[in-house]
Structure 1
Amino acid sequence: MQAPVPRDGIRGKLTAGAPLAPYTWFKTGGPADWLFEPADIDDLEAFLARLDPAVPVMALGLGSNMIVRDGGVPGVVVRLGKAFAKVEHSGELELTCGGGASGILVASTARDLGIAGLEFLRGIPGTVGGFVRMNGGAYGREVADVLRDCAVILHDGSFVTLSAAELEYSYRHSALPEGAIVVSARFRGHPGEPSEIGAEMDRIAAAREASQPLRTKTGGSTFKNPQGHKAWELVDRAGCRGLQQGGAQVSEKHTNFLINTGTATSADIEGLGEMVRDKVYAQTGVSLEWEIQRVGRP
């Protein structure tokens, strides 16, 4: 296997055949052809500028909303580390957050600064890069409500700033170009009392703990909520609570979550999801759409 770019001049870590299962919540899936962990933004720009345009690029955050298929991921997977995980107070009621920063860190920083409106990010188990791309949301709010703009490095290494309007947000979707890496984002809230913000964050945390199988190997919400419906109710109505395929199971606690009981392959998990989709369609006539990203080779 030849390196997709010369290693000379790259300050980050470039690994061939890197296992990805340890980086995903499901703990399944094959390796990346190449895993690149850039030292900083300049390193990432230089790497992508020298990369063959034909080589696919994919960003990986916390791996919470993702199935990495068992055949692994072609091309280069980019994982942003500590250099991209900072959250800074950059203006009145505004935070600039690195693409690798967690939703919990963003919400907690906003709380400490008396910036309200970002509490819902406490309920999104991912990083800024991921939920900016997917217009992540929870508890009645979504990224489109609070994003001012984001800094992005495109597949060719060029650096651009995109406004929320340019991302053309819709439900769990954006127009972010394929292969683009979100390296930072600016969020704006409104004035609030830290104690009240903290109480709302605690309420969100408690609601998640009570309703979701957080202490299992899972991937977050599996299917998008269809217009006028809740995905979990449709799955439950179709008799899929506890349904299994191989080592994968529909959660008994929340039926819009799939779990790895310990021996699942990614094929088990994805196959179970397709089985659920078939049963829901047969029972209700509603075709569920995947919310979890499914990437890589079968």
Structure 2
Amino acid sequence: MSFPDLLSLHPELSEGLRGKLVTNQPMSAVSWFRTGGPAQLLFQPADAEDLSLFLAKLPPEIPVLPVGLGSNLLIRDGGLEGVVIRLSAKGFGQIEPAGEGRLRVGAAVPDKRLAEAAAQAGLGGFAFYTGIPGGIGGALRMNAGAHGTETCERMVELVAIDRKGARHVLTNADMDYAYRHSGASKDLIFVEAVMEGVPSSEEAIRAEMAAVVEHRERAQPIREKTGGSTFKNPDGTSAWKEIDRAGCRGLRIGGAQMSELHCNFMINTGEATGHDLECLGETVRKRVFETSGIKLHWEIKRLGNFGPEGEIAPFLGVTEEAA
């Protein structure tokens, strides 16, 4: 499928830009699941000024969606209307000192690259990022965390561009952080942040990083087409325990499967569609609810239009009141 060409409808959008604009760009190349329909228009700005210029010209009725490394995205088969903005490593991949114990980090920096830079700088508190397969922009948005540490513990302030192209600086308190959540406006696109660590020896930091890597390689299907943890942990238990208890370890629908190794990881075994993956996730949510009464919440972000196979109802139709 394809969408109407936004650049033909709005030729002024490309005027003066230095970044890259592509119409009907397949998003399967972006998502780690390797599934999903096209983006109506994909924009990769050259830098923050280029992003501001574009957003200031974009008609307000056109949807905007920022996408990072694509590690925790399930893009539906019908694709994404409007503009998808993906920050490039060239324009948003800097890591530089920002004062005592602090680093200024671009939103396109991979999490594990920040962990490496912090180790070289003798800054502890970032080793957990070694095991998170995403970028800093997404980590800031969802308060990514692992091994007892969360992004909110490291973030001091960030710079964001709003829907009209204006620049904002937000403090940690402005973000209203909670478990796998921030309260920042959806209209803000994060472009960089100041992160703070604690002094430590590089030897101690690298030992912690090695332990994170060892755990991840042993316990997670890291060589598969996956999106990381599928569901958030419920209060008082772990998502994987409830999935296992509901008999969903290894469960398959089409080309999608709950991992045998870590059953809170969904994988594309080769030919899965976005429909297969979302149907599998909702099947798991339904079975967990029927088994334990627990309502699992998606950690993976599901985006876009449903494809020709139709809409998938939450819990496959179980009412919100019951669930």
TM-score class, shorter-chain normalisation, is over 0.9
The alignment partner of 1:219 has SS state of strand
Q: Which runs of 5+ in 1 are unaligned?
A: none
Partner of 1:35: 42
Let me know the Cα RMSD of the aligned residues: 0.8
Task: Give the TM-score, by structure 1 length.
Answer: 0.98
The alignment partner of 2:13 has SS state of coil
The alignment partner of 2:228 has SS state of coil
CA distance in structure 1 between the aligned counterparts of 2:65 and 2:147, rounded to whole angstroms:
28
Partner of 2:97: 89
Partner of 1:2: 6
Amino acid at match of 2:35: T
Partner of 2:178: 170
CA distance in structure 2 between the aligned counterparts of 1:90 and 1:164, rounded to whole angstroms:
16
CA distance in structure 2 between the aligned counterparts of 1:31 and 1:45, rounded to whole angstroms:
24
Following superposition, which runs of at least 4 residues in structure 1 exceed 4 angstroms of deviation? none
Partner of 1:114: 122
**Contact 1:59/1:179, CA 8 A, preserved across alignment:** no
Q: 1:47 aligns with which of 51, 54, 57?
A: 54
Structure 2 matches for 1:5-16, cutoff 5 A? 5-16=12-23
CA distance in structure 2 between the aligned counterparts of 1:271 and 1:214, rounded to whole angstroms:
22
CA distance in structure 2 between the aligned counterparts of 1:34 and 1:177, rounded to whole angstroms:
22
Amino acid at match of 1:157: G
**Contact 2:6/2:40, CA 8 A, preserved across alignment:** no
Q: 2:193 aligns with which of 150, 160, 185?
A: 185
Going from structure 1 to structure 2, the CA distance change for 1:63 and 1:2 (only over 3 Å counts) comes to closer
Partner of 2:70: 63
Partner of 1:78: 85
Q: Show CA shifts across 1:233-265 (max 9, x none).
A: 000000001101110000000000000000100
The alignment partner of 2:14 has SS state of coil
CA distance in structure 1 between the aligned counterparts of 2:187 and 2:129, rounded to whole angstroms:
24
Q: Show CA shifts across 1:30-77 (max 9, x none).
A: 010000000111100100011111111111111001100000011111
- Say yes or no: does 1:132 pair with 2:174: no
CA distance in structure 2 between the aligned counterparts of 1:152 and 1:56, rounded to whole angstroms:
17
Instruction: Report sequence identity in percent.
Output: 47
CA distance in structure 2 between the aligned counterparts of 1:109 and 1:217, rounded to whole angstroms:
27
Q: Shift of residue 6 of structure 1? A: 2.5
Question: Which stretch shifts more, 117-126 or 131-140?
Answer: 117-126
The alignment partner of 2:6 has SS state of coil
Partner of 2:168: 160
**Contact 2:154/2:196, CA 8 A, preserved across alignment:** yes
Partner of 1:263: 271
CA distance in structure 2 between the aligned counterparts of 1:39 and 1:87, rounded to whole angstroms:
17
Task: Give the TM-score, by structure 2 length.
Answer: 0.91
Q: Shift of residue 123 of structure 1? A: 1.5
- Say yes or no: does 1:203 pair with 2:211: yes
CA distance in structure 2 between the aligned counterparts of 1:196 and 1:178, rounded to whole angstroms:
38
CA distance in structure 2 between the aligned counterparts of 1:252 and 1:61, rounded to whole angstroms:
28
The alignment partner of 1:91 has SS state of coil
Q: Shift of residue 90 of structure 1? A: 1.2
Partner of 1:18: 25
- Say yes or no: does 1:242 pair with 2:250: yes
Q: Show CA shifts across 1:246-293 (max 9, x none).
A: 100000000000000001000100000000000000000000000000
Q: Which runs of 5+ in 2 are unaligned?
A: 307-323
